[in-house]
Structure formats: structure tokens, C-alpha cells
């Protein structure tokens, strides 16, 4: 099994090195580098192309929010997981809207850290119900649409893609399950995001979980 390559970003050296040490000792992880702030994180993400960037929300200079935006634009294949002391943090919310794939509380147990990072690499989005609700409320408010309306125009195939997406499947796995090409999967995902007025996969998953879309049969 391929090891997950991680870049650890935090301005507190003791915490950063502690997390890096845990990952180095755990099976299936390689720490490719560490960074002290957002600017260094962006540079190292571009140079090292890790699978995951594990990054603090608050840092001096360039914070995690701006770094998440820049990393997402420069290295879109990288998964970004934010570190925070509270899931009620507004900057955490902004980072998830900007494209971060999930978050972890700094009080998390090591095994949950490992489990979450493995899931993120598989394409899963880690959101609590409260955070999913906040994301859905925000992007539906910004689009000025009725929360449940957009899903009505989705095709049966798009419903299948959506269900697999919420189970954590990545494009390659969705393609194999539905016996279609990865390019076709990408086209379906773009259509789903357009119809749900979502800006990224995290928002799609948040919407689906919040509204219970995948717990009902696709419309005929």
C-alpha cells in the first residue's frame, strides 16, 4: 500500500514536531516536510507535492485560510486538512468554503488523526453535522436559492455519482463502480456542483448529508 505523504504546518514548533513524530512512527505515513507559516506552506506544497497538508488555521504572517486558497490553486491535487481548537471557528468555516477537505481538533487522539488522514486521501470529506449545516446555509444564502430545489434537476446517473461521492469514493473508484470513464465522472461532478450551486466537492458532500439527499431513491 502506498504511504500517504504529509506536510505538517504549524507555527508552534513543539506541537508541529510532535504531530510530525506521531506520523513518522505510524504505519503508512511519510512526513515530507514541516512549515512554520502559510507562506512557507505554499512554497513547500508546490515543491514537495504532498498528498495531504495538515495545517493550523491561525499563524503569523499568512494564515491557514489564505494558504489553503493558494495551495488549492497552485496544487489542486493536494488534500488540505485544517487544525483548530474549535469547530465553531469562523476562519475554519472560511477555509472549508475556500476548498479545505476537512478539519481536526487539536485535541484529537492519534488514532483518529491517522484514520481521518487516510479517509481524506481516499476522497472522504470530514464534517460534523453542525459544520455541514453552516456550509449549506451559507452557500445557499449566497446563491439566493431554495435549499432543496436544485437537486430536483439531477439525472439518475448524477444521483449515483453523488451517493458514491458521499461514501468517500474518489473519481477513479466512481468510474469503476459505474463503468464509465474518469472524464465522464468529472463532467458529472461539474454538473452536480452547478445544480447544487456548490463550489467544490466538500460543499457537495455537506449539502447531500445535511439535506439527506442520499437517503432517498433517485427520482424517476
Question: What is the full per-residue pLDDT of the chain (220 aa) written as tens digits?
Answer: 689 999 999 999 999 999 999 999 999 999 999 999 999 999 999 999 999 999 999 898 998 989 999 998 899 889 999 988 877 767 777 777 777 888 888 888 999 899 889 988 877 766 666 666 676 666 666 555 444 445 667 898 998 998 888 776 778 889 999 999 989 998 999 899 888 877 777 778 877 776 666 543 333 3
Question: In the prediction, which pLDDT does 152 show?
Answer: 63
Question: In the prediction, which pLDDT does 94 show?
Answer: 78
User: pTM of the full predicted structure?
Assistant: 0.68
- What beta strand segments (E) does the chain contain? 4-9, 29-35, 52-56, 79-84, 102-105
Among residues 126, 148, 180, which one ends one of the domains?
126
C-alpha cell at 52: 495531504
> Domain containing 75 — which CATH number?
3.40.50.2300
In sequence order, the β-bridge partners of residue 105 are 84
Question: In the prediction, which pLDDT does 200 show?
Answer: 77
Among residues 126, 152, 186, which one ends one of the domains?
126
Among residues 64, 97, 126, which one ends one of the domains?
126
Statement to judge: residues 119 and 137 lie in one domain = no
Q: Does residue 199 form part of some domain?
A: yes
Question: In the prediction, which pLDDT does 207 show?
Answer: 76
Statement to judge: residues 8 and 100 lie in one domain = yes
Q: Diameter of the chain by CA atoms?
A: 56
| CA distance to 16, 18, 20, 63, 206, per residue, from 209 (Å) | 32, 34, 32, 29, 5
Amino acid at each position: 500500500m502506498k504511504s500517504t505523504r504529509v506536510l505538517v504546518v504549524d507555527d508552534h514548533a513543539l506541537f508541529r514536531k510532535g504531530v510530525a513524530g506521531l506520523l513518522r512512527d505510524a504505519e503508512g505515513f511519510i512526513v515530507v516536510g514541516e512549515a512554520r507559516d502559510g507562506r512557507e506552506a505554499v512554497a513547500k506544497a508546490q515543491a514537495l507535492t504532498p498528498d495531504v497538508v495538515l495545517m493550523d488555521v491561525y499563524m503569523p504572517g499568512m494564515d491557514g485560510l489564505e494558504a489553503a486558497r493558494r495551495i488549492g490553486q497552485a496544487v489542486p491535487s493536494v488534500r488540505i486538512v485544517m487544525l483548530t481548537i474549535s469547530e465553531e471557528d469562523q476562519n475554519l468555516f472560511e477555509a472549508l468554503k475556500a476548498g479545505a477537505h476537512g478539519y481536526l481538533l487539536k485535541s484529537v487522539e492519534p488514532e483518529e488523526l491517522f484514520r481521518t488522514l487516510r479517509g481524506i486521501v481516499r476522497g472522504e470529506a470530514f464534517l460534523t453535522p453542525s459544520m455541514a449545516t453552516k456550509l449549506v446555509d451559507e452557500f445557499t444564502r449566497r446563491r439566493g436559492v431554495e435549499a432543496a430545489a436544485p437537486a430536483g434537476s439531477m439525472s439518475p446517473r448524477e444521483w449515483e455519482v453523488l451517493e458514491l461521492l458521499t461514501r468517500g469514493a474518489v473519481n477513479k473508484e466512481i468510474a469503476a463502480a459505474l463503468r464509465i470513464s474518469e472524464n465522464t465522472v468529472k463532467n458529472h461532478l461539474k454538473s452536480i456542483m452547478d445544480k447544487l450551486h456548490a463550489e467544490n466537492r466538500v460543499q457537495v458532500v455537506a449539502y447531500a448529508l445535511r439535506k439527506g439527499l442520499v437517503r432517498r431513491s433517485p427520482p424517476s
